[in-house]
A and B are shown apart, each in its own frame.
Chain A
C-alpha cells in the first residue's frame, strides 16, 4: 500500500510536465479563437465563395444572353449584329420574363410570413443579418433575365445580393449573434462589389462608407479580407488588369489646374439633376396601375426601341465606358449617347428591374467629365487638355456626389485606372463634387433607399408587436391617501422613477415622480402631513392595449419616464400593468432573447 508521502509524490508534477502545461496554457490564452479572429476566417471563406457565386452568375447570364441573341460577343456588339426587330424584341421579352419572375415570386413568397429581408443593406444596418433565400433567388433570377437581355442596369446589384445571401446563410448556419451576422453580410457585400469591379479596396470602402457609415479598423478588417480574397479569386479566372489604364497626368501648363478645380463643383451641381431624373421616372412608374411584368416590359420596350438606333444603350454601360476612354469621340456623339443612356437607365431602373445603377452612374460621370474636357479644349486650346483625364476625374467626382462616399469614389477610380498620377486631382474633385451636391441634395443614391427601407423596417417592427406583448403585470401602486413616509419608503426600496396612484377599483389616478420628491425624502416632518394625492401628477401619460406601439413610442417621447402605465382602456382607466422603454428598444433592436429575459425577470 502506498504511503501518504508516495501519493503526494505521485500527485506532484515533474518540472518538464509543468513547463509543458504552462506553455499549453500560454498558447491557449494567446491563440484562442476569439470572435474577432473567427470573423476574419469567415470573411476569407465568404470572399472566396462570393467570387465563385459571382462567376456562376456571370456564366448563367452569358448563357441566357447567347440564347437570346445567338451571339457570345459583348452585349453592345451582339446587339449591333441583330436586326432591328430583334433589338426591340430581346429587351422587351427579357424584361417581361424578369417582371413575370418577380410577380410569380411575390405571389409565392407572400404566403410565407417573412422574418428576414431581401436587401443586404437593410440586413446589415437595420435588420438582423438574415436575408430571405426565396425572395433573393427570385430577385437574382429576375436580374438574370433583365441583364442578359440588354436592360440598361448594373449587374453589381445581383452580384452583391448573391454573395450577401451566402454570407447570411453562413451566419444563420453557424447560429451567430446578430452583430456578427450583420458583419458577415457586410463582408459578402464587399466581396460582391470587389469581384464585380476587380476593385478590392473600393469594395471594402463601399460597404464601410455607404452601408456601415464607418471606416474603423474593427469593422474594416474583415471587409478588406473578404474583398481582397474575392478579387484574387476573380483575377485567377479572368486575369488581372485595369478597366482603363489611364495615361499619366501630364499638365502642359499649371493653368490647367483652374478648369480641373472647377470640374468637381460642376459635376456636383449636376448630380442632383441625375438623381431627380431617376426618382421622377420611378415615381411615374409607381403611378401606373398595371401588373409588374408589364411595367418591366415597358422599360424593356423603351430600351429596345432606343437600341434599334443606338445599340450602345444596352447593358450596364461598362462597354460604353471602355469605348469612351479608348476611342476619340466627338462631343455631339458623347452628348447624344449620354442622353439616350440616361433615358434607358432611368426607364429600366424606374420600371422596377432588379439591378444597380453604379455602372450607369460611372458612365454618366465619365461622359460629363469628357464633355467638360472637350469644352476646355475648345475654349482654351493652349492648355492642351486631355479630355480622357477629365472623363476619369469626372467619373470619380460624379460618383462621390451621387453616393455621398468620396473616399470610396477616389479608391474606385484609382483601382479602375491604376494611375497614381491622377489621384491628387481626383481627391480634390471628389471632395468638391460631394460638397457641390450637398448644397442641393441631402439624400444620396443608396442612402435614400436605405432610409426608406429603414423607416419601413422600423414601422414593421412597431406594427408587429402590441402593447400586451411588452406589458409587465401588477405594477407597484399606492392609494391616493398613502402618506409621504410610505411614498418615500417605496422609492427607497424599488428603483422606480414613478409610483402609480390608484383608487380602490384600481383606476389610475396619477403618478408620483421621484424627481419631484427626491429632495424631500429625508424630511420626517412631511411624513404624515403630505399624502400621495397632494403630489401626484394627475395628467401622467398612459397607454392602452387598444393603441398601437407607435402611439406608445410617441407618448414615451413626450415624457421623461422609463415606464408608462397601461390601462385597460382610456375611459375606464383601470391599471393593468406597465411597459418599459428599454423593452421596446430591445424589441426594435431585434434581440428577442434579451427581451424574453427582461420580461420574465420582472414578472
Chain B
C-alpha cells in the first residue's frame, strides 16, 4: 500500500470542523457518533468499546497536539476514519490536543493500519503542517493541505 492509499482513506473520512468538547472522552464520542451511520461500521457499540480500551492502554499522541485514537476490531468491515479539529485544546490526559484522527481498522488489516498510522505520524511529526490543517474548512482542503506538504 502506498501513501496514496492512506490519502484515499482520509478523503473518505468524516470531517468535523471546530469540534467542541470538554474532555477527550466527549471528543472521541462525538467522532464515533459521526462514524456510527457509516455502512462500514457493523457494530458501533463494539467499536466504541475497542477504541476506549485502547485509549486506556497507552493513548497514541503525536508531538504538536495530535491524537490518533484507534482500534483494530472486527466491528468495522473496512477502514473508517473521522477527523476533527478544535479551536481550543482538549486535554488527552496531560496533553493538549487540537487535531484528532479516529481510525477503525478490521483485525486482518494490520498492513493498512500501519500504513495510515505511519503516514500520519510522518507528516505531522514537525508540526509545520498543523496550522494549515487546522484552517481547512472541509475534507477536500484538509487533504489538499497534506498534498502540499
User: Which residues of A approach B to under 8 Å, CB–CB?
Assistant: 480-481, 513, 516-517, 519-520, 523, 525-526, 529-531, 533-535, 537-539
Contact = CB atoms under 8 A, between A and B. Distances in A.
Given A525-B118, A535-B113, A480 B125 contact: no
B60 A529 contact: yes
B117 A481 contact: no
Contact of B117 (A480, A513, A519, A530): A530
A539 B110 CA distance: 14
A101 B58 CA distance: 75
A520 B68 CA distance: 18
B110 A525 contact: no
Contacts of A534: 54, 70, 72, 113, 117
A513 B58 CA distance: 21
Given A520-B114, A529-B68, 17 more contacts: A516-B110, A516-B111, A516-B114, A517-B110, A520-B118, A523-B122, A525-B121, A526-B114, A526-B118, A529-B60, A529-B62, A534-B54, A534-B113, A535-B72, A535-B113, A537-B107, A539-B107
A481 B58 CA distance: 7
A502 to B, nearest CB: 15
11 contacts: A513-B110, A519-B111, A520-B118, A526-B114, A529-B60, A529-B68, A530-B114, A531-B58, A534-B72, A535-B113, A535-B114
Chain B contact patch, size range: 10 to 19
A480 B118 contact: no
B84 to A, nearest CB: 18
Contacts, number: 48
Contacts of A525: 118, 121-122, 125
B22 interface: no
B57 interface: yes
A538 B107 contact: yes
Contacts of A516: 110-111, 114
Contacts of A530: 60, 114, 117
A480 B58 CA distance: 10
A234 to B, nearest CB: 68
Interface in B112-126: 113-114, 117-118, 121-122, 125
Nearest to B71: A534
A451 to B, nearest CB: 39
B57 A481 contact: yes
Interface in B97-116: 107, 110-111, 113-114
A481 B122 CA distance: 21
A519 B1 CA distance: 10
Most buried by B among A480, A513, A523, A525: A525
A585 B125 CA distance: 49
Nearest to A531: B58
Most buried by B among A481, A530, A531, A533: A530
A533 B55 CA distance: 11
Given A517-B114, A535-B110, A535-B114, A526 B57 contact: no
A530 B60 CA distance: 7
Contacts of B57: 480-481, 531, 533
A529 B64 CA distance: 14
Contacts of B68: 529
B4 to A, nearest CB: 16
Most buried by A among B60, B114, B121: B114
Nearest to B122: A525
